[in-house]
Chain A
């Protein structure tokens, strides 16, 4: 079945550090990937749509200079949290769909980011 791989699974770092998270589609090509953020006991909130070969589309309220997205190939999207602060601590999850918009999304295992 479709597999989405996300790395790293957990990051603990000091305030001011930039953190890069990778999302890979392992057995299919994904022109579009999605990045979500989830706080404890809350739902998944879409942050941005990562588009292969073009700029990401950010949801309202998400700072594009804070959350840099690069989708350089059909199987890899990266999210960089720049100059992270404690309020950026969260669970970040990527997703991709192997079959287009009318197919369900499959999620990576998520990255738990803790900023000290």
Chain B
């Protein structure tokens, strides 16, 4: 089976940098994804790591260490609109994705 752990809540101020960690246990691994979900909406794809290292997409970056079964999402220059839930997800056997429980990010002025 697969399981993921990520913090349940994170709070930060506008303009700050936030890192959301994700550790996982998996029986098969293709990659680690990050999704953003605002209340009432569907998950939106943010970033994907299939190999070790850092992927940068604008203000968002994601890191993966397969040997440590660990990854993180880094959000820079936080904006109020970044307040949302963030999910890490492992793509495993048969292409299935298992999601973490989500991290609620609150950005304060």
Give bound CA distance, A35 to B30, whole Å: 19
Instruction: Report B-chain residues with C-beta under 8 Å of the C-beta of A54.
Output: none
Instruction: Report B-chain residues with C-beta under 8 Å of the C-beta of A57.
Output: 94
On chain B, the number of residues with a Cβ less than 8 Å from chain A's Cβ atoms is 23
- Say how far A115's CB is from chain B's closest CB, in angstroms: 18
Instruction: Report B-chain residues with C-beta under 8 Å of the C-beta of A102.
Output: 30-31, 50, 91
Interface: A104 (CB within 8 A): yes
Closest A residue to B31 using CB positions: A102
* 8 Å CB contact of A44 from B94, B95, B99: B99
How would residues 38 to 49 of chain B score, 1 for a CB under 8 Å from any chain A CB and 0 otherwise?
000111110010
CB <8 Å contact, B97 and A46: yes
Most chain B CB atoms below 10 A, which of A46, A93, A105: A105
- Say how far A49's CB is from chain B's closest CB, in angstroms: 6
Main DSSP-derived SS at the A contact region: loop
Instruction: Report A-chain residues with C-beta under 8 Å of the C-beta of B99.
Output: 43-45
Assuming A43-B87, A44-B87, is B41 touching A34 (CB within 8 A)?
no
Assuming A104-B33, A107-B42, A107-B45, is B98 touching A46 (CB within 8 A)?
yes
Assuming A43-B87, A44-B87, A104-B33, is B42 touching A34 (CB within 8 A)?
no
